[in-house]
Amino acid sequence: MAKSQNNTATKSSGSKSSTSSASSNSTSKNGSDGVSKENANDKTLKKLFEQGLQDIYSAEQQLIEALPEMAKAAFNEDLEDAINNHLEETKKQASRLEKIFDRLNIEKEGETCKAMEGLIEEGKKILQEYPESPVRDSALIIGAQKIEHYEIAAYGSLCELADVLGFYKVAEVLDRSLAEEENTDHLLTDIAKDVNDEAMEMSETEEKEKEYV
């Protein structure tokens, strides 16, 4: 089969890879960690790592604000306790990140996690729409798990990046937060079983009452 002759005008369109490797650099950037000649790829990955840290830090800050309200809104006591316990973990996670910023000499501000803003907003909307009940608890858990999954994705990828970049101690610290997010997710799954059963019973009772009216 004729290989499509792709020598048709490779018009250097936009040339995404235009980071001229001849970087006889004008900047004399000496890494204090002894790594003298970082290539462009390393810089990009490190930057990505820094932005990722700032993003999850912003997310954790937003959660420290939002979780008390979510806990208060819970009808089921186990759910309320789980959210309150996770609030304490969230505060620890934020201070772990602050230590990482100090260690790596990174500004902690810089990113606003828009995704977390959206997830929290969705959660609040549900709380306004539903009266306090097992059904609302079901919704609360769904919202909380979406939040945990976002954090799991963030910490999971940051652990990988820290490893690749050679920040092994930082990777260990991030892994602790990752484990807390995963445990919270599993705990919420367990609580959801009871809460969903209660919510279903309540819905069935309401349906029956409607039939007899």
Shortest spacing between CB 209 and Fe ion, in angstroms: 38
Shortest spacing between CB 102 and Fe ion, in angstroms: 19
Q: Which is nearer to Fe ion, 112 or 133 (CB)?
A: 112
- The continuous run of DSSP H or E covering 157 comes out as helix 134-165
Q: Which of 188, 185, 162, 181 is CA-nearest to residue 90?
A: 181
Q: Which is nearer to Fe ion, 137 or 181 (CB)?
A: 181
Q: What's the rounded Cα separation, in Å, for the pair 137 and 143?
A: 10
Shortest spacing between CB 64 and Fe ion, in angstroms: 9
Contact 145, 188 (CB under 8 A): yes
Residues that bind Fe ion (CB under 5 A): 55, 90, 93, 113, 115, 151, 181
Nearest residue by C-beta to Fe ion? 113
Residue 34, Cβ density class (10 Å: 0-12 exposed, 13-18 middle, ≥19 buried):
exposed
Shortest spacing between CB 26 and Fe ion, in angstroms: 33
N-term to C-term CA, the chain? 74
**Helix, coil or strand: residue 98:** helix
Contact 141, 188 (CB under 8 A): yes
Q: Which is nearer to Fe ion, 94 or 135 (CB)?
A: 94
Q: Which is nearer to Fe ion, 94 or 199 (CB)?
A: 94
Shortest spacing between CB 115 and Fe ion, in angstroms: 4
Q: Which is nearer to Fe ion, 58 or 76 (CB)?
A: 58
